[in-house]
C-alpha cells in the first residue's frame, strides 16, 4: 500500500521533535514543534532530505542556508528535516564545512512518524523523499514539491512560489516578485 502525499489545502500535521540548532557544546539540541510555527504567526518552509552524510543533500542544505535571510525577510521559518537522529545530524554538522554554520534547525524525525503522516517515506529504505512544504500562518499546506532521491531541488523556485503565495493574488507563469500580478 502506497502512502498518499499530504497535499495543498491539508492541515500540516502537529509534531514535536528534537532538532539540532547549534554545534556549541551544551546548546546543540532544541525541541521544536508545530506550535512554534502556529503561535508565531509566520509562514513555514519545511524541506526534507533522504540521509545525512550523502552527496546531494548537503548542496541543498547549504543553499537553503545561503538564502536564510531571504526566508527570514519573508516572515518565514525554515526547518530542514530527515529521518536521521539528532546525534547523526550533529555529527554531520561538525564533520561537513558547509553545515557548521546553519541558521535553521535540523529536525530529527527518528520515529519516521511525521514523514509517514506526510506520505513522503520511500517504500524500501523508509527514508524521506526530497519533499518541500510551504505552510501558511494558519497551518495550511499551500505548496508541495517532491523530488526523487537523486535529484536536488531549486531553492530559488521555493522562494518564488513563497513570494507568489504571499501576494494572495493571481500570479502568471514564471512570475517573480516585483512583477505585475493578474487582475480577474
Q: Which residues are catalytic?
A: 57
Region class of 126: left (phi > 0), else alpha (psi between -120 and 50), else beta: left
Smallest Cα–Cα separation from 135: which of 172, 165, 173, 169?
A: 165
Q: Rounded to whole angstroms, how far apart are CA atoms 37 and 76?
A: 9
Cβ contacts of 49 within 8 Å, gap of 6 or more: 56, 57, 60, 61, 80, 81, 82, 128, 130
The length of the chain is 184
Which neighbouring-strand residues pair with 141?
A: 135
Amino acid at each position: 500500500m502506497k502512502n498518499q502525499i499530504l497535499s495543498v489545502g491539508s492541515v500540516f500535521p502537529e509534531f514535536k521533535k528534537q532538532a539540532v540548532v547549534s554545534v556549541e557544546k551544551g546548546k546543540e539540541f532544541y525541541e521544536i514543534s508545530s506550535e512554534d510555527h502556529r503561535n508565531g504567526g509566520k509562514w513555514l518552509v519545511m524541506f526534507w532530505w533522504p540521509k545525512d552524510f550523502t552527496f546531494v543533500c548537503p548542496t541543498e542544505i547549504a543553499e537553503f542556508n545561503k538564502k536564510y535571510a531571504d526566508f527570514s525577510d519573508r516572515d518565514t521559518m525554515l526547518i530542514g528535516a530527515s529521518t536521521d537522529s539528532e546525534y547523526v545530524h550533529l555529527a554531520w554538522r561538525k564533520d561537513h564545512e558547509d553545515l557548521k554554520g546553519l541558521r535553521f534547525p535540523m529536525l530529527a524525525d527518528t520515529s519516521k512518524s511525521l514523514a509517514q503522516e506526510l506520505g513522503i517515506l520511500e517504500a524500501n529504505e523508509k527514508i524521506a523523499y526530497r519533499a518541500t512544504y510551504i505552510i501558511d500562518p494558519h497551518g495550511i499546506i499551500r505548496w508541495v514539491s517532491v523530488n526523487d532521491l537523486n535529484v536536488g531541488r531549486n531553492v530559488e523556485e521555493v522562494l518564488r512560489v513563497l513570494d507568489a503565495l504571499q501576494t494572495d493574488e493571481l500570479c502568471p507563469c514564471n512570475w517573480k516578485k516585483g512583477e505585475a500580478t493578474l487582475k480577474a
